[in-house]
Each structure stands twice: as C-alpha cells, then as structure tokens.
Amino acid sequence: DGHGNIQEMKLEVVGTWGFLENWKVFEERFWTEVIPEASGGKITANAKPYTELGLKGYEVMAGVRKGAYDVVHALTSYSSQASPALEGIDLSGIIQDWDTYRQAVEAYRPIIEREVREKYNAQIVNIYPFPTQQLWCNLGDRSITNVSLADLAGKKIRTYSRTQGDFVEGLGASSITLALAEVVPALEKGVADCGVTGTMPAYNGKWSQVVTHNVRVRLGFAATFTAINLDTWESMNADTQNLILTEAKKFEDEIWEFEQTLDQAGMDCNAQGPCDRGQPGNMTPIEPDAEDQALLKKIAAETVVPRWAERCGSACAAEWNATVGKLIGITAPTDGS
Amino acid sequence: MLDRIQSGLEGTARGAAIIGGAAMCAAAFMVTMDVISRKVFGVTMRGSDEITGYIFAASTTWAYAYAMLTRSNIRIDVAYVALNTKARALLDLLALGLLTLYIFLLARSAWSVVEESWTFNYTAQTPLATPLWLPQSFWFAGLAFMLLCLAFLSLRCLWCLAKADWQGIGALAGVKSLDQEIEEETHV
Amino acid sequence: MQTLILIILVGLVVAAVPIAAVLGILGLALDEVFTNGRRALMMGDFIWEQSIEYILVAVPMFILLGEIILRAGIATRMYTAVAKWLSWLPGGLMHANVGSCAVFAATSGSSVATVATVGTVAYPEIEKRQYNEPLFLGTLAAGGTLGILIPPSIALILYGLLTDTSVPELYLAGVIPGAMLALFFMLVVIFACFMRPGWGGSPVETSWRDRLEALPDLLPPLVLFAVVVGSIYTGLATPTEAASIGVVCAIGIAAWFRALSVRMLIEAFESTMCSTAMVMIIILAAVFLNFVLGFMGVTQAIIDGIDALGWTPMQTMMVIIVFYLLLGMFMETLSMMLTTIPVVFPIVAHMGFDPVWFGIMITVLMEAALITPPIGLNLYVVHGTRTRGGKFNDVSYGALPFLIAMLALIGFLLTFPDLATWLPNQVY
Ligand code: NA
Ligand code: NA
C-alpha cells in the first residue's frame, strides 16, 4: 500500500483555544481525523487545546522546545519573548486587508521558519491567521455614527500584546491590561472604554452586551503556526515528513479561505446581521474613512514599526524592510540598537 | 550547633517573609496610586500590575520556607493523631521526604527557566520589557532556600532515626498539635 | 486508571503528607507512568506563568487587609455597637455574634480572621450573662463562616481563577445568599431561645440614644466594605486593585485608631506571607496536576463515565453535594476546593449548571466544612478562644443547628437558583 514507509508514531499536540473555530474545525480534526486517515492509521495523536490544560501563553512555546509535547499550534506573539523578529509578522494596525496580509506572511515565512528553528528547536509546517483583531468600544450610545479613529485619543483601551500597546499609545489613548474574564465587566463599568479582540471571539464572548461600537480597523491577524519539536521532526523519515507537510499545506490553504468568511460573519453578527449563529449584537459598525486610513498609516510608520525595530535590532529591521516593509511601503529605522 | 544552624535558617526565613510582606504592602500602595492617577488624571503608570506580579511570585517562594519551618504546611491529620509517637515519626519522615523530593524537582525545573532567560536574554512582552532573569532569580532563590532548609531538616531527622529518637522527629517535622495551632490562630 | 489515582491520592493524604507534595508528586508520577513523563520538562515554565498571575495577587492583599484590621483594635467597639442594635431579640448577644461576624465578613476575605476577632471579644459575655455555652459558641463558629460567602472572599477568587469565572459576578452572587444565611442563623437562635428561654442569657439594657451614639463605631468596617466592593462596581478598579486599595485603607484606619506601629505591621506581614505561602504552594501544585490530568484525558473520562450512568443533572448535583459534605468533615476547606474543582467543575459545566451559581453553592459547602467535626477550622478557632477551657464537643454540638441552616440554604439554592444569579444578572 501507499503507507509502507510511513512510521508508526503517537504525537502529543497542544492546540489553540478549545472553544474557537480554529481548534474545533481545523486543528483537532487535523490530528484526530486527517492525519490518521492519510497515514493509514499509522500516525495518531493525543491533541488537547491549551485552554483545557490551563496553559496561559508564553510557556506554550517552552513546552515544545523542551519536548514536553511534540507539536504546538501557537500564536507568533507567544514566541516573541525569545525572538522579537517573530512579532514582525503581526505588528498592530500596519496591514488592513487579507490579500496583502497573506502576501506578507509568504514574504516573511523564511524568517519565521529560521527563528522558530533556532530559538524554539521546532520545525514550522504551516502558518495561518485568526479572525482579525479589531476595536470594540463602549461609547455609551449606539446611535452615534460619526466616530473617527482620532476620537479614541484619551480612551482606556485593553490590549494584550506589546505591539497593540504601541498602537494604542500612537493613537494617544492609554493601554491597560486585564484578564480576559474581566474584560466584559470592565467595559461595562468603564474601567476600560475599548478592548481589542477578534471579530468572532467578540461575538462568542457576548461583547455586544456591553460594547456599542465596532471600529473596524485591523490591529492584527493573530498569526499562528504549527510547529513540531525538532527532535521529533528529525526522527521522522522523508515519507512521514512529506505526508505531514502535504496535509499541513492543504490545512493552510483551507483555513485562509475559512478565516476571511468567518471574519466577515463575525463583523455581521456583531452588527445588524445576517447572523446564522444567533441574535445579531446590534453594535454600530464604524468603517475607517480616508482620514482614518491616513492616521493608521501615520501610527504604523511613526510609532508601531519604529518601536518594534528598536526592540528587534537593526539586522532584524533590515530583514523586515526587505520583506514586509517593501510590500506595504513602510521602512523600519535600522540605525537603532 | 545544629540548633544554632536551624535558628539561623528560621531567622532568615522569617526575615524574608517580613520583607516579602512589606514588598506586597508597598505594591498595594503602588497599585492604589495607579488607580487614583488613572481615575483623576487619566494616565496609567505602565507596568504596576507586572511589577506586582513579580513581587508576588518572589515573596511567595521565600515565604514557603518560613511556612515549612513553622510547620504550617497543610497536612490532613485525621489518621495521624490516632497513632503512637513512633508511627507518627515514620509518617513525618514520609511527609518530609516527599516534600523534599517535590521541591527538589520544582527547583531544578525553575533553574532551567532562569538559565534560559539569562542565556537567551528573554524580555517580558509588556511595556516595561523586563529582562525576565531578574524577577525569576528572586523567585528561584526562594525555592533554593526552601530546598536548603528541607535538606537540613531531613538530615536532622535521619540522625534522629538512626538514634531511634521518635520524639525528636516529631519535634522537628511533626504536625502541629491542636493546642499549638489554636494558640497561633487566635493570637491577636 | 481513575481508581488507582484515587487510591494513591487518598492514601498519601491520609498519611498526612503535605497536600502540596501529594498533588505535585502525583502529577509528576502520573505523567511518568501514563504519558511518558515529558510534562516534567516544562514544570518550571508552567509554574512561573501561574506565579505571576495578577488575579492571584488579590489573595495576599485580602489576607493582609484582614491581618491589619484584626490588629487595629476596632473589633471591641464594633461588637458593642452591633450588640446595641440587635440584643433586644430573644437570644441577646448571640445575634450580635452573628451580626458582627457578618459585618466583619464584609471587610475581611478570611473566615479565620472573622471568627478569631469576634470570638475573642464575645467570649467573656457567656459567663457574665449566663448564656447557654454550646449555642453561644455555635453562633461564633457559624457566624465566622460568613466571611467566605459575603464579598470580598478569597475562596471566590480562587474559584474564579480555576474556572475562568468573573470574580465581580461571583462577589455579587454571594451577597443575597450571604445575607439570607446570616438571617437563618438569627432565626435558629430565636427558635432555640423560644423553646428553651433559659438559654438566652440576661438581657442587655440599651436605649435609642445609646444605639445612635454607637453608630460611628460601625463605620470602619462599612467604609472598608464600601471602598473595596464599591470600587469594583463603580468601575474604578479590578478585584486585585480593589484589594490593594483595601490594604491602604486598612492602614489608614489603623492609623486613625492609633494602632499602627512597626511591630504591628511586622506581625501582619509575617502572618500574611505564611498564609499566602501555604495557599500558593497548594494552588501551584494543583494547577500542575490539572495540566497533567488534562493531557491524560482524565476529566473527559470521568464525564463520559457519569454520562454512562445516565444521571439527571439534579441527581448528579445531589451526589456532588453529598460528596462535599462528607469530604468536608475531614478535609481542610481550601485544599478541598483546590483539589476537587478541576475535576468537578467540568462535570457541573457539562451538565449545564451556571458557573456563577455553582461558585456560590460550593462556597456554602465550604462553609459547612468549616463547622463539621472532626476537622473544622472554625470549631478549632472558637475552641481556642475559650480561656476557661471546656470540651471540644461543646463547640461541635453548638454549631450543629447552624449546619442545618446551611443545608436549608443549599436547598433554597437548588430550588431557586435565582437567589445567586439574579443580582449579577441585574448588573451584567
Ligand atoms: Na468576606
Ligand atoms: Na469539617
């Protein structure tokens, strides 16, 4: 049969949030159905989402590097404490459309692969996004429609990554940190005025109960990769590796399509619908106009990118300029540290 | 001699616990200032939550040794109290042995965390960009100190075991009697 | 496999091995035997991430708040003031015991702090006014349990952390059941003194003028409660920030009463860190064990097992309640909560119960555990305040009627879940 050279193995896998589509539709199915089927039952897996294991974030990558498990699906932002270069693919607010973002990932992929291999002892097999991260604000009155991005200066905005913090400060707002479980109460009570989260997570988390406006600026795509511990990877023969790479590529192509649809569905469900998941959230959507786009560009070029370049160093900034920077027309300063 | 070393360890542990408590208290003032400045002036001090988290982690591991040396570890003594001195001493040895083993494994694993943060120069993904080895060293040192105390206590208990001094083991590592516990709980 | 885990766990616990070591070693051993031991490689990274968790910072802050207030010398004034308002009821000062515990509970996150404070002040009154000693002691032991149900509460913070439930919602949910339970306790006293009028002690003489003049003495605990809980609900602060503000306020109150000294602070710091260490070492081991169990799929196996039994949600809940009542007789409350919630909560959630509601239910069960012999922390503490000595069983018997009141509250919570969920639903 065609599975003759496939090695028998049982992999231990940690996935992303157990209650989100990326796990439910893709990651879990990949390890419990797709791979076992494609390998004729030779490769099986014990796959668990990280939420079910009580993991919180950065230690997810320590686990795959140390071989506590074989495979991890992890956000690039979880790995940036060892490699600021990885943050470069998801800088807040610099890219506003899906096609450009996918091109940026393709351009930056060799750098991501190298960094993860060197710093995390792991092989990347695919890279994919989540629904986009947008701004969700409690402005008190849903009937207000003339909101511009500049109006958010001075607001308290809950962010969960450093680059989002940079964006918010570039906007002239203040960035606050809160545990996810506290965000909705905090938005209700005005501890925070706005929060950053994905379009579908905002709907699933019932943010519409406390949020009046969805400011549709894209502050990130939550780039995620599948990485296999290098010792595990190198213990596989070429056929086994190829099988995983082939299936991972199919996964990748499907999920990029899926996320765009999901992203739109998330925005619709939070606004007036149509929504096939339940009641629409009736938030007032704010589409960025030309003025807002100009402000986004200004924040990206003057705050987000330079601050990141400072963390990352000049060699790293130069690599970014030759890839993502060239694509979107922003140059990171390379005279820093 | 052994008693003097033990009281030295106890003094250090108590001092560390007090410093840790004072640091938490200072953190409470810092967080309060932050809340007030956020409400009144609309500005946040960046990272008061992060610093508080580090103080919390480090002061807690340093207090472990104090809790252990004052025999405040939570142990279920339903069966224990019904036994004679010798049987209790054997359970105390088991308890001490397993606690030492656990703290050894934990401290070893914690060391690898500090070592990697140092080697690869990890920084926190927060506005402060704290070099992680710094708070982690304080955190690890607390665990290491507890391990030192446990090792010392284990040796003393083994010495008692060699002399068949069951009461000695109870005095070093036994569950606190009801009277002792009540005396402490109600000390105002 | 589950049976083996359970046997090892129970064996080590009964052998008086420290709970933290039991959980930690069990986690490592299970992983070694069943899932090739690789999780140990990242134990340090895992524990570090948990150790800097900002929500958990509320635990030492609330303990410190309680320790400072305990030493600020406001307990006697507060008790006397509450007594002036409540002692006209049949049972006299026993209502003051419950009432002061409820008021003090509203500032302190700790049950032990509550019962030690009020107990020490109230105890001399037994002899002075000829109360029935067991019942009087029972009001103290039971009243002291209110501290973990009426917010702020450390138990609810830990529950929120382990189950990803919002702490402010849990706090709101505890208000009505907490007030009901205080009322039930007072009804128990009234009923007992109605049946046996001799138990109620000699009456306390007071006037409206006395009552009004005593009001300012109730202010410190109420101010603290208003600051801590108020700052959460007005959106000023998160629970951790509110606890920190509470510490600053408590120091202010201690200074106001001229009770602030270096020595007093040092004692408070020492005691706070000792309690914090005891709690944290168990929490960290429990979350690591939970991580290993998650990989092994134990929780899922238990859920499947219960599904296979075909129990209705209500039957399952009854079994869980009986399990906690029995376990609560023997186990210290905090370790009981930390060791069982990771396994029990997924079952409860799977059965469709509201997480906030279950948080309140389990807290009432913890309260019951505090006053059931042989291991009941509040019974010990009350017994410890008896300077004239006496049989430990006096306290146990005296607490029994209040245990029945708790069972009644459990019944009400089962029948009318809104008692817990209505208030948070109004706000969130
Ligand atoms: Na309380
Ligand atoms: Na009990």
If we measure between CA atoms, which residue out of A257, A254, A252, A277 comes closest to residue A267? Answer: A277
Distance CA B139, CA B54 (A): 8
Binned at pLDDT 50, 70 and 90, residue B138 comes out as very high
Q: Which phi and psi angles does B100 have, rounded to 5°?
A: -60, -45
Secondary structure in 3-state letters for chain A: CCCCCCCCEEEEEEECCCCCHHHHHHHHHHHHHHHHHHCCCCEEEEEEEHHHHCCCCCHHHHHHHHCCCCEEEEEHHHCCCCCHHHHHHHCCCCCCCHHHHHHHHHHHHHHHHHHHHHHHCEEEEEEECCCCEEEEECCCCCCCCCCCHHHHCCCEEECCCHHHHHHHHHCCCEEECCCHHHHHHHHHHCCCCEEEEEHHHHHHCCHHHCCCEEECCCCCCCCEEEEEEHHHHHCCCHHHHHHHHHHHHHHHHHHHHHHHHHHHHHHHHHCCCCCCCCCCCCCEEECCCHHHHHHHHHHHHHHHHHHHHHHHCHHHHHHHHHHHHHHHCCCCCCCCC
Is the confidence at residue B127, as pLDDT, over 80? no
Q: What is the whole-number distance in angstroms between the Cα of residue C210 and the centre of ligand 1?
A: 28
Partners of C233 in the β-ladder: none
pLDDT attached to residue C378: 85
Using CB atoms, list chains with 3+ pairs below 8 Å to chain C: A, B
Joined tokens for residue A121: 């002892």
What are the structure tokens assigned to C409, written together? 């509250």
Q: How many residues does chain C have?
A: 428
Give the separation between CA B7 and CA B12, rounded to whole angstroms.
8
The pLDDT, as a whole number, for residue C1 is 66
Angle at C320 between CA C315 and CA C322, to 5 degrees: 95
Identify the residue whose tokens are 């430990």: C392
Say which of A66, A82, A162 has its CB closest to residue B127.
Answer: A162
Report how far apart, in Å, the C-alpha atoms of C269 and of each of B22, C67, C279, C308, C316 are.
6, 8, 15, 51, 43
| Paired tokens of C348 | 């409860």
Chains in contact with A, where contact means 3 or more Cβ–Cβ distances below 8 Å, are B, C
Distance between CA atoms of residues A32 and A245, nearest Å: 16
Question: What are B166-187's pLDDT values in tens digits?
Answer: 998 988 888 876 556 555 555 4
- What's the confidence (pLDDT) of residue B76? 74
Q: Which stretches within C205-261 are classed as H helix?
A: 208-214, 219-233, 239-256
Which ligand neighbours the alpha carbon of C406 most closely? 2
Q: Is C65 helix (H, G, I), strand (E, B) or coil?
A: helix
Share the mean pLDDT of chain B. Answer: 88
Residue-level pLDDT at B185: 54
- Decide if A191 and C238 are in contact by the 8 Å CB cutoff: yes
Q: What is the mean pLDDT of residues B82-86?
A: 87
pLDDT at position C207 over 50: yes
- A26 within 8 A of A253, measured Cβ to Cβ: no
- Average pLDDT for residues A146-167, to the nearest whole number? 90
User: For residue range C241-262, what is the model confidence (pLDDT) as tens digits?
Assistant: 999 999 999 999 999 988 899 9
Whether omega for the bond prior to residue A274 falls within 30 degrees of 0, making it cis, is: yes
Domain count, chain C: 1
What the block records as the tokens of A278 is 């339940």
**Interchain pair C38, A67: CB under 8 A:** yes
- pLDDT over 80 at B98, yes or no: yes
Q: To the nearest whole number, what is the mean pLDDT of chain C?
A: 87
Quick one: which ligand is closest to C396's CA? 2
Q: What is the ipTM of this complex?
A: 0.89
Encode pLDDT of A254-276 as tens digits: 999 999 999 999 999 999 989 99
A129 pLDDT more than 50: yes
- Average pLDDT rounded to a whole number, residues B79-97: 89
Of residues C187, C295, C24, the one with CA closest to residue A55? C295
Spell C234-255 as b/e; 16+ CB within 10 A means b: ebbbbbbbbbbbbbbbbbbbbe
Residue C229 has pLDDT above 60, yes or no: yes
* Statement: residue B188 has pLDDT above 70: no
CB A98 within 8 A of CB A105: no
Q: What 3-state class would DSSP assign to C213? A: helix
pLDDT at residue number B72: 77
CA proximity to C62, closest of C268, C236, C240: C240
Quick one: which of C115, C116, C83, C123 has its CA closest to C99? C83
For C53, the token pair is 């968790």
Q: What percent of chain A shows pLDDT beyond 90? A: 75
Locate C266 and state its tokens.
């040092």
Confidence of residue C389 (pLDDT cuts 50, 70, 90): confident
Average pLDDT score, chain A: 91
The confidence score (pLDDT) of residue B179 equals: 59
Q: Which residues of A touch B (CB under 8 A)?
A: 58, 62, 66, 77, 80-82, 119, 154, 156, 161-162, 165, 174-177, 311
- Overall residue count recorded for chain B in this entry: 188
Please give, rounded to a whole number of angstroms, the shortest distance from the CA of C299 to a CA of chain B.
24
Burial class (CB in 10 A: 0-12, 13-18, 19+), A114: middle
Domains contained in chain B, number: 1
Establish if B184 belongs to a structural domain.
no
- Predicted confidence (pLDDT) per residue in A181-216, tens digit: 678 878 887 888 999 999 998 998 889 989 999 999
CB contact B57 to A (< 8 Å): no
pLDDT tens digits for range A270-322: 999 899 988 999 999 999 999 999 999 999 999 999 999 998 889 999 999 99
CA dihedral B117, C49, A92, A218 (to 10 degrees): 160
Four-residue CA torsion sign, C113, C115, C116, C117:
positive
Q: What is the distance between the alpha carbons of residues B87 and B80, in angstroms, rounded to a whole number?
A: 8
CB C217 within 8 A of CB C78: yes
pLDDT in tens, C257-278: 888 999 999 999 998 998 889 8
C426 in contact with A, Cβ within 8 Å: no
pLDDT at A274 (0 to 100)? 92
Residues of A in contact with B38 (CB under 8 A): 156, 174, 176
Token duo for residue A55: 């993991």
Q: Give the length of chain A.
A: 337
Residues spanned by the domain of B42: 2-177
| Rounded Cα–Cα distance for residues C69 and C260 (Å) | 10
Chains in contact with B, where contact requires at least 3 CB pairs less than 8 Å apart: A, C
The pLDDT value given to residue A222: 92
Average pLDDT over residues C286-297: 85
If you average pLDDT over residues A153-173, what whole number do you get?
91
Q: Which residues of A touch C38 (CB under 8 A)?
A: 12, 67-69
Please write the tens of the pLDDT for every residue from C108-136: 767 777 888 888 888 888 888 888 889 99
Q: What was the pLDDT predicted at B24?
A: 97
Hey, of A10, A182, A231, which one would you mutate to test binding to chain C, going by the most C CBs within 10 A of its CB?
A: A182
> B60-92 burial by CB neighbour count: b if 16+ within 10 A, else e?
bbbbbbbbbbbbbbbbbbeebeeeeeeebbebb
What pLDDT is recorded for position A337?
44
Q: Which two tokens stand for residue A115?
A: 């960094």
Q: Hey, are the CB atoms on A63 and C42 less than 8 Å from each other? A: yes
Query: Which residue, chain included where needed, has tokens 């168990």?
Result: C282
Whether the Cβ atoms of residue C149 and residue C185 lie closer than 8 Å to each other: no
Q: Are A61 and A83 in contact (CB under 8 A)?
A: no
pTM reported for the whole predicted model: 0.87
Could you give the CA distance from residue C267 to residue C261 in angstroms, rounded to a whole number? Answer: 10
